[in-house]
Structure 1
Amino acid sequence: MASSALQLLGFLISLIGVAATVAATVMVEWTKNFRGEHRTYEGLWMECESDDIELWICETHQTLIKLPIEIQATRAVMLVSLFLSAVAVMVSVVGMKCTHFLDDVPDSKSKTALTGGILFMISGLLTIIITSWYVKMIVTESGELDDKLRKEFGHAVFVNWAGGLLTVIGGIFLSCMRCCGTKSSVSRSPSQLLPTTKPKSNYV
């Protein structure tokens, strides 16, 4: 029962991480550009600009070729990460102890849960790696700009980091349940190690 609860906890943590990753992917504040009163927010799918606090003009990216390399690469990796997360959700649901899928083959059910956990971990690691690389690119570019233009990364970066970390932690929980289950099935109590039948005595 305890292992089933921990497995469910890991799955829920992963779901929260995936939800944060989805939110970060569609957010506009990946990069913030400031030139005086003029501000521009760049996201993976959209760009917004404003000369006034109350008025914002947003438009989607029309072409992929003209986009900066950091946006192109981050967009591609995030789509792969979300695809892996979607597969991990379906696989984990089949392999979790609280569901009734594969109940007649418990070993296959346990391996399925392990596979789901690994997929979650890969997805989270991809998210963390590409976000860190994106930040590195923005920091490098901001150091090469003139004093009138200021460029920095936005809130979507922190949301994505948190989402990737939670996804990895949830995947670890799901994977560890496979290890714990294997150990518990192999271990035996001292009473099981004692012979159940007494040796026959020799009668004269």
Structure 2
Amino acid sequence: MANSGLQLLGFILSLVGLAATISATFMVQWKKQSQSKAHRVYEGLWMTCSGNERTTCDPHDSVLKLPPEVQATRAVLLFSILLSAVAVMISIVGMKCTHFMDAKPSSKSLAALIGGILFMSSGLLTIIITSWYVKMIVNSSQQTHRLQSLEFGKAVFVSGFGGFLTMGGGAFLSCRRCSKRQAAQSISSNHLLPTAIPKSNYV
């Protein structure tokens, strides 16, 4: 039961991390630029919003005209979400609280391990691309004019938080040590049962 609870905890953490990654991917506040005290420009992966009190948003027209950090971040995050989606389906099959492949415990444990590894890979990709995006923003802010304040927005923190949650949840899911220990206990109990039954017949 302890191993089943650990898997369920890891699965929930991974789902929360996936939801945070999806939210960050479509958020506008990836890059914030203050051209004056009132006028601000927010640049996301899919659109740019600007204005004073009223904000207007325009989607990116061409992918080729986008900065390289936006193109790379968009592609890697979409691939990370795809990996997590595959990991969700595989993990549901391999978790002990489900009834898929109950007749094949070794295959079920392997499915949970693969799902956990996919979750960890997805979270690691999210963390790497988010850190690289932050580095690019810092380098760009050092080259911009002093009147223009360039900094990263809230989506960066949401993306990093989602990546760490997904990676941590995958680590819990791929805990094969617990499943091996539980399997060893079940095997040892099965070996003890035949020896105990014949002794009771002689009494």
TM-score (norm 1): 0.90
Shift of 1:146: 1.3
**Map 1:19-98 → 2, pairs under 5 A:** 19-36=19-36, 37-50=38-51, 52=52, 54-98=53-97
Provide the C-alpha distance between the structure 2 equivalents of 1:185 and 1:127, rounded to a whole number of angstroms.
34
Q: Distance in 1 between matches of 2:73 and 2:9?
A: 29
Matched residues in 2 for 1:148 and 1:168: separation?
Answer: 39
Offset at residue 182 of structure 1 (A): 1.0
Question: What secondary structure sits across from 1:47 in the alignment?
Answer: strand
SS of the counterpart of 2:135? helix
Give the whole-Å Cα distance in 1 for the aligned partners of 2:110 and 2:128. Answer: 27
Identity across the alignment (%): 60
1:122 corresponds to: 121
- The aligned counterpart of 2:136 is 137
Please state whether the residue corresponding to 2:49 is helix, strand or coil.
Answer: strand
3-state SS in 1 of match to 2:117: helix
Aligned to 2:174, the other structure's residue is in SS state helix
Aligned-pair CA distance for 1:27: 0.3
Encode CA deviations 1:72-121: one digit per residue, 9 max, x unaligned: 00000001000000000000001111111111101000000000000000
| Paired residue secondary structure (1:161) | helix
Task: Supply the distance in 2 between the matched residues of 1:96 and 1:59 (Cα, whole angstroms).
Answer: 44
CA RMSD of aligned residues (A): 1.9
What one-letter code is carried by the residue in structure 1 that aligns with 2:115? G
Structure ID, larger Rg: 1
Q: What amino acid sits opposite 1:149 in the alignment?
A: Q
| One-letter amino acid of the counterpart of residue 92, structure 2 | V
2-structure distance, mates of 1:104, 1:186: 17
Aligned to 2:15: 15
Correspondence for 1:156: 155
What does residue range 104-123 of structure 1 map to in structure 2 within 5 Å? 104-123=103-122
Distance 2:90 2:184 in 1: 25
Q: Distance in 2 between matches of 1:179 and 1:168?
A: 18
Structure 1 residue 185 displacement after superposition: 2.4
Q: Tell me, yes or no, if structure 1 residue 179 matches structure 2 residue 180.
A: no
What amino acid is the match of 1:5? Answer: G
Cα-to-partner distance string for 1:106-138 (whole Å, 9 max, x where unaligned): 100000000000000000000000000000000
Shift of 1:38: 2.2
SS in 1 for 2:146: coil
2:140 counterpart letter in structure 1: E
For 2:178, give the aligned amino acid.
Answer: C
